[in-house]
Amino acid sequence: MSTIFTLCVILSMITTLSSNAQSVTAEEDLRNQIKLMETEIQEHELLLQSTREEYTKIEKDLQKSERSINELETEIEKIKKTIESSEQRMATLLAKKKELKGRIESQESRLSSQIQAAYRLGKQETLKLILNQKSPDKISRTLAYFDYLNEARVEEIDRFLTIIDQSDTITEQISIQAFDLEKDQRHLYDERLKLDQRKKQKNAILNSLNQYISDTDTELIKLQEDRGRIEKLLGELDKNKLSSQKISVAFKSMKGKLFLPVDGKVTQKFGTKRNIGKMQWRGLFIDAPEGEPVFAIHSGEIVFADWLRGFGLLLIINHGQGYMSLYAHNQKIYYQSGDHVLSGEQVASVGNTGGQIRSGLYFEIRIDGKPADPQTWCQAKSSRAA
261, 338 contact by CB (below 8 A): no
What long-range pairs does 327-331 form, CB within 8 A, spacing at least 24?
A: 327/261, 327/294, 327/361, 327/362, 327/363, 328/354, 328/361, 328/362, 328/363, 328/364, 329/353, 329/354, 329/356, 329/359, 329/360, 329/361, 329/362, 330/294, 330/361, 331/290, 331/291, 331/359
Domains and CATH numbers, the chain: 1-241 (1.10.287), 244-386 (2.70.70.10)
* pLDDT for the residue numbered 376: 93
**Span 283-293, average pLDDT:** 94
Q: How far apart are the first and last CA of the chain?
A: 37
18, 240 contact by CB (below 8 A): no
* pLDDT for the residue numbered 1: 52
* pLDDT for the residue numbered 176: 82
216, 43 contact by CB (below 8 A): no
pLDDT tens profile 316-359: 999 988 898 999 999 999 999 889 999 999 999 999 987 788 89
**Span 59-86, average pLDDT:** 74
Out of 16-30, 34-48, 84-98, 205-219, least confident range: 16-30
DSSP-based three-state secondary structure for 75: helix
pLDDT tens profile 101-142: 776 677 667 666 655 655 554 554 555 555 565 556 665 666
- Most confident listed range (112-116, 213-217, 225-229, 314-318): 314-318
What is the amino acid identity at position 215? D
Q: For residue 360, count other CB atoms closer than 10 A to its CB.
A: 26
Distance of CA 141 to the CA centre of its chain: 94
**Residues ≥6 apart with Cβ < 8 Å to 356:** 312, 329
Residue 278 has pLDDT above 60, yes or no: no
Parallel/antiparallel/unpaired status of strands 265-268 and 300-308: unpaired
143, 65 contact by CB (below 8 A): no
Out of 200-204, 288-292, 322-326, 349-353, least confident range: 200-204
Residue 157 has pLDDT above 80, yes or no: no
Distance of CA 252 to the CA centre of its chain: 51
* pLDDT for the residue numbered 269: 86
pLDDT tens profile 10-25: 666 665 555 444 444 5
Report the candidate in 287, 289, 284, 288 with the shortest Cα–Cα distance to residue 268.
284
Out of 20-34, 252-266, 357-371, least confident range: 20-34
Residue 178 has pLDDT above 80, yes or no: no
Rounded to two decimals, the pTM is 0.46
* pLDDT for the residue numbered 245: 44
Model confidence band, residue 270 (pLDDT cutoffs 50, 70, 90)? confident
Q: Cα-flanking dihedrals φ and ψ of residue 265, to 5°? A: -100, 130
* pLDDT for the residue numbered 130: 56
**How many distinct helices (H) and strands (E) make up the chain?**
3, 12
* pLDDT for the residue numbered 348: 96
CA angle, residues 64, 66, 72, in degrees to nearest 5: 105
- Most confident listed range (25-29, 200-204, 242-246, 249-253): 249-253
* pLDDT for the residue numbered 24: 46
Parallel/antiparallel/unpaired status of strands 258-259 and 378-379: parallel
Q: How far is CA 113 from CA 110, 120, 213, in A?
A: 5, 10, 92
SS (H, E, C) 120-168: HHHHHHHHHHHHCCCCHHHHHHHHHHHHHHHHHHHHHHHHHHHHHHHHH
Report the C-alpha gap between 258 and 141 in whole angstroms. Answer: 141
Q: Taking the alpha carbons of 297, 302, 305, 311 in that order, is the dihedral positive or negative?
A: negative
Higher-pLDDT residue of 355, 231: 355
* pLDDT for the residue numbered 361: 95
302, 336 contact by CB (below 8 A): yes
Model confidence band, residue 234 (pLDDT cutoffs 50, 70, 90)? very low
385, 262 contact by CB (below 8 A): no
Higher-pLDDT residue of 158, 10: 158
Higher-pLDDT residue of 278, 270: 270
* pLDDT for the residue numbered 319: 92
